[in-house]
Amino acid sequence: NKALCGPPLQTECPLHPAKQTTISSVSASATFAIVIAALVAAIGAGIVLRGWCTSRLCSKKVSSSEQAVSSMGGAAPAPEGAGGAKKNRSREGDSHGLIFVRSDRKPFDLQDLLGASAEVLGSGNFGSSYKAVLLDGCATVVKRYKEMNNLGREEFQEHMRALGRLRHPNVLPLLAFYYRREEKLLVYDCVENGSLAYFLH
């Protein structure tokens, strides 16, 4: 029989046409799936990259709006308007400047504080303390805190107003405070030789 092929005969059998068609269709399907997956991955990567660039651009705008910290560590104040804006500075409700909790002191703004000569008094785990002498000769102590970032503006202001209402012979009353997300400033009158270390030694 001439149609016989395959072992143990030395005549090889031809490939079945149906098998070749199946192999070709499977190969085409796999190629199509790979192309679709590559397109989906490219689109996803483009969306992620666009979102990342947008967030970076927003963060750069926010950082550029906040000026660099001065030598004393405070934040630069918001620009003042024309006219008498500077005279109405730093009172209750001014969220961009110093907020005074005492009415018996002549107010000053954050720019006055940043322009004062500063002397480092000490530093600790929560922040640093500075002695700042204003242009009019008034000496203040500024405590700069950087470890209270979990406090919101309203909560922080509520605590500071409560602290400003405290009156005790052995407690130095709070004069003013300043809120920023990255840091907080507490301003007191400077009492010369008024530290506990001075009285102990």
Q: What is the pLDDT of residues 79-107, one digit of tens each?
A: 444 344 444 444 444 435 888 888 777 78
pLDDT band at 140 (very low <50, low <70, confident <90, very high): confident
- C-alpha 119: how far from chain center: 27
Q: What would the pLDDT profile of 14-59 be if each residue is shown by its tens digit?
A: 665 544 445 455 566 778 778 788 877 888 777 877 776 666 654 5
Q: Which has more confidence, 105 or 61?
A: 105
pTM of the model: 0.47
- 99-200 carries CATH number 3.30.200.20: yes
Which contiguous run of DSSP H or E holds residue 158?
Answer: helix 153-164
Per-residue pLDDT, 193 = 66
Per-residue pLDDT, 199 = 60
Give domain limits for the chain.
1-65, 99-200
d(CA 189, CA 111): 17
Which contiguous run of DSSP H or E holds residue 178?
Answer: strand 174-179
